Amino acid sequence: MSELEDAIRTRAHQIWESEGRPEGRERDHWFRAASEMPEADAAAGTGIAGGPPPATEEPTLPPPKDGA
């Protein structure tokens, strides 16, 4: 992991915590964190600032409610 990616990850985590740890907002937080860093503009062509790393687990949906 590069220093830039690590800095983006750290800032995205801070944003996530400041918003009350909402689920499903990883990409929003990643892009917001990247946009706050001038280095991300320079790295945009490398894929580093292009988005968060892939999730390690598949997201799961809650089971449907009966009768819905």
In this model, does residue 38 exceed pLDDT 70? yes
User: Which of 47, 54, 61, 56 is closest to 27 using CA atoms?
Assistant: 54
Is residue 33 packed enough to be buried (19+ CB in 10 Å), middle (13-18) or exposed (0-12)? buried
Tell me the per-residue pLDDT of 4-35, one tens digit each, with 9 for 90 and over. 889 999 999 999 999 999 999 999 999 999 88
The mean pLDDT of 31-53, rounded to a whole number, is 67
Helices in the chain by DSSP H: which ranges? 3-18, 26-35, 38-43
**pLDDT value at residue 64:** 72
